[in-house]
Amino acid sequence: MSKKGGSNHLNRMASPRYMRVDKKMSKYIAKPMLGRHTLQSSVALVTVLKESIGIESNTYEMKKAIKEGKIKVNGKVIKDERAAIGLEDIVEIVPSNEVYRIGVDNKGRINAEKTDNKAQTLKIVGKYVYKGGKLMLRLHDGTSVAAVKDANVNDSVRLNNGKIEKVVKLEKGAQCLIISGIHSAEKGSVVDIRKGAAGREPTVEIEGKGGRIETVLRNVIVIGA
C-alpha cells in the first residue's frame, strides 16, 4: 500500500531559504504545520527554538518542553512542535521569562530577537464579511480580527493580547520594513506609493539610510507613523 498524507519532515538541503537552518547538521528538519503561515514563510516551532533562538538542548528535550506547556506563542501555550512560526510572532520561553520577536535578516531569512514588548504589528491582507454582516480583517499571519474604522488592506494593525490597539496607515511619511527581496530588513519612510498597471504590481518608494529604494507593495509592511 502506498503511504497516505504528507510528510512531517523536510530535507534540509531542499528547505526554503527563509528557514535559515544549518544544512549540514542532519538530513531532515521538522516541517511546519500549515495554517496561519505558508510553507515559504514559516518554520516549525521546534526548529525556531533550536536553530534561531539557539536553545542548547537536544530535540527530544525541546519536544518534551513544548508538550509540557513551557512555550507560548502570541500569549498562548502551544503544545505542537510543528506549529508554524513566522513574521511578528512572539515566542515566550516560560521557565526563563525570555521573549523573542520573529523578524527577517538582510537575506530574507527568519531572525529571532529578544524583546520586552509583546505587541505585534501585522499587515492587513484582506477584508471580508462574516456571519451576520460583521466586517473582518485578515492579517498576514492568517488570523482574523474584527474590523475597525479606517483600517484598509496594506495598512497594519498593532495587536496586544489579540486586540487592536492602533491602526498604522500606509501613507507618505509612514515608517516601513521590507520583509522580502534583495532589500530585506531595511527600514525607511514612505516617499511615494504607485498604483499597479496591466502586468505591473503596485510599488512603494522608501527613503532609507542608504538612499531611496523602490520595491513591490507585497514586500512591505508599515510599522509606524
Q: How confident is the model at residue 3 (pLDDT cuts 50, 70, 90)?
A: very low
Could you say which architecture CATH assigns to the domain 120-166?
Beta Barrel (2.40)
Domain with CATH 2.30.30 in the chain: 175-224
- The residues, any chain, with a CB within 8 Å of residue 99's CB and separated by 6 or more, are 90, 91, 92, 93, 114, 115, 116, 118
Q: 35-57: per-residue pLDDT in tens?
A: 777 777 788 898 888 878 878 67
C-alpha span between 189 and 69 (Å, rounded): 40
| Average pLDDT score over residue span 76-101 | 93
For the chain, what percentages of helix, strand and coil (3-state, to nearest 5) are there?
15, 40, 45
Torsion sign, CA atoms 66, 68, 72, 78: positive
How many C-beta atoms lie closer than 10 Å to residue 191's C-beta?
A: 15
Give me the residues paired with residue 208 across strands: 188, 211
Strands 135-139 and 120-129: antiparallel
Domain with CATH 2.40.50.740 in the chain: 120-166
More confident residue, 58 or 120: 120
Whether residue 20 contacts residue 29, with contact meaning beta carbons closer than 8 Å, is answered with no
Torsion sign, CA atoms 165, 188, 142, 27: negative
C-alpha span between 141 and 28 (Å, rounded): 25
Could you say which architecture CATH assigns to the domain 175-224?
Roll (2.30)
| Average pLDDT score over residue span 91-115 | 89
CA-wise closest residue to 127 among 151, 102, 94: 151
Q: How confident is the model at residue 1 (pLDDT cuts 50, 70, 90)?
A: very low
CATH number of 9-114: 3.10.290.10
- Cell (9 digits) for 62: 525541546
pLDDT given at position 164: 92
| Average pLDDT score over residue span 73-79 | 93
Question: Would the pLDDT of 16 be above 70?
Answer: no
| Average pLDDT score over residue span 14-34 | 59
pLDDT given at position 25: 55
Q: Mean pLDDT of all residues in the chain?
A: 84
Q: How confident is the model at residue 5 (pLDDT cuts 50, 70, 90)?
A: very low
- Cell (9 digits) for 215: 520595491
Domain with CATH 3.10.290.10 in the chain: 9-114
pLDDT given at position 26: 54
Q: 184-218: per-residue pLDDT in tens?
A: 889 999 999 998 777 789 999 999 888 999 999 99
Q: 132-191: per-residue pLDDT in tens?
A: 889 999 999 888 999 998 899 999 999 988 889 999 999 999 999 998 888 888 999 999
pLDDT given at position 4: 47
